[in-house]
Amino acid sequence: MFARYKCCLVEILLGTRLVSVVVFHRLRYRVATNKLNIKSNSKSESHKFNHSQLEFVSAQFSSSKGTMPPRIAQIRLVSSHPQVYAPCDDSFALVDALLADRTKLLNHHPSICMEIGSGSGYVITSLALILGSESKNAHYFATDMNPHATKVTRETLEAHGVHAELLTTNIASGLEKRLSGMVDLIVINPPYVPTPEDEVGSSGLSSAWAGGENGRSVIDKILPVADNLLSEKGWLYMLFLAENDPLQICLQMRDKGYGAKIIVQRSTEEETLHVIKFWRDPDIQIEGNEAGSGGKTAPQRGLDFLRSQISRLSFRETRQ
């Protein structure tokens, strides 16, 4: 065993496990084995990793003032199944976005929270832990079309001592009327990987990532459902791949009266991810009446900033 100190990074090799500690951040244990490439038909990109080959464990460290940061789900307590997508970079990016917005979320006082496509239950469990006792009256829902995922999500929730109402269904079928206009917070890590259309909606593990042409087939079905479910103060956190054309999605949501903001941008070896927050913006509804005022409205300025964020990251990727 050895320890190497460099700035605020400490790396410790324990047998086959590499432990990386970043001060005041989280600890992730990486199993030192090969990644499992899951190929998309004729494509050879590896977008998703098998949990048995790649594992991350998140833990929390106390700050210099001795206070504990908010809890998130621990990978060692996350249940698994061969046909259920395990937490990976996209899952971590979505939870990091919730952590970044935690203070705003607590002040938002969401009464009903939902995850569409819960998979292993890592995200919905983390959300419940992030909100914690300060949102003790919040009610949680989680859906997934994969029955194995529903079972695994339940086991993950129970292992962390939190509860959600679970439903095995496509997107939110069966809840759309019951929860129409009532959900204050929705989180979604959709099937976003570009694949042949005939792979979309397939059973088992591939349903977690097969997104059809440009990775948009499932995304374009989810967005209207989310619009129907969200309350007037509802927030939507959704993860996109650069190939999904997130700017066009933001423009599409803007046409429905939603503001948008990128909370997390992340480039991995395989993909460029954006976690975008959407909310109903009343100023957008009157933007047409203000167009002749000579200056840009707040929503227009926000859209310009969003466009610059996405284009900067895309430009940076093309130069690498």
Q: How many residues does the chain have?
A: 320
Residue 87 sits in which domain range?
Answer: 81-319
Q: Considering the entire predicted model, what is its pTM? A: 0.74
Within-domain flag for 290:
yes
Residue in the block written with tokens 């996109």: 240
Report the C-alpha gap between 179 and 175 in whole angstroms. Answer: 6
| Interior/surface letters 3-23, b for 16+ CB within 10 angstroms, e for the rest | eeeeeeeeeeeeeeeeeebee
Sign of CA dihedral 223, 226, 228, 234: negative
Q: Could you tell me the strand order of the sheet in which 272-280 lies?
A: 165-168, 139-144, 112-116, 183-188, 230-241, 272-280, 258-267
pLDDT in tens, the chain (320 residues): 323 222 333 333 333 333 333 322 333 223 222 223 333 333 333 333 333 333 333 333 333 344 556 789 999 999 999 999 999 999 999 999 999 999 999 999 999 999 999 999 999 999 999 999 888 899 999 999 999 999 999 999 999 999 999 999 999 999 999 999 999 999 999 999 999 998 998 877 888 999 999 999 999 999 999 999 999 999 999 999 999 999 999 999 999 999 999 999 998 777 899 999 999 999 886 444 444 444 555 556 655 656 665 654 443 333 32
Within-domain flag for 19:
no
Within-domain flag for 213:
yes
The domain total for the chain is 1
Within-domain flag for 176:
yes
Within-domain flag for 6:
no
Within-domain flag for 71:
no
Within-domain flag for 17:
no
- Closest by CA to 93, choosing from 313, 318, 319, is 313
Residues 6+ apart with CB under 8 A from 129: 70, 71, 72, 73, 160, 162
Within-domain flag for 41:
no
CATH number of the domain enclosing 296: 3.40.50.150
